[in-house]
Amino acid sequence: MRHRVKNKRVGHNAPLSQSILRNLATSVILYEKVKTTKARAVKVRSVLEKLITMAKGSTPTNANRALNGFLLDVNASEKMMRELLPRFKERNSGFIRLTRLGTRAGDAAEMVQVELV
């Protein structure tokens, strides 16, 4: 039963769900456009919004440490600090855009494209 369960599970258990979200967030930062399922996209959007907002508001050293602690690739945190944070300097929120792509042929899962604005 799902009584009082607030978060959806993206994987099978907590460590797998966290690693899927970390990997997806790293891919979105590196490639700026990723195709995934709707459930994963909604979950990764909230994670990335919080990560970008935190990086904008803190000092560069603290932001770099926090990004390296969460993201799985050092190149992703470097790209975030060099390219993305100056681009999002004027925005307060809404850094991620979700575009619906239809359903997947194999299992009819709703597919979404996640991209940085």
Buried b (16+ CB within 10 A) or exposed e, 13-33: eeeebeebbbebbbbbbeeee
Reported as a single tens digit per residue, the pLDDT across 93-102 is 999 999 999 9
Protein fold of 14-116: 50s Ribosomal Protein L17; Chain: A, (3.90.1030)
Helix axis angle for 14-31 and 38-57, nearest 10°, is 70
pLDDT score, position 11 = 74
Reported as a single tens digit per residue, the pLDDT across 57-103 is 889 899 999 999 999 999 999 999 999 999 999 999 999 999 999 99
- Can you say how many angstroms the Cα of residue 59 is from the centroid of all Cα atoms in its chain? 21
Q: What is the mean pLDDT of residues 14-30?
A: 93
Average pLDDT, the chain: 92
Structure tokens at 111: 């597919």
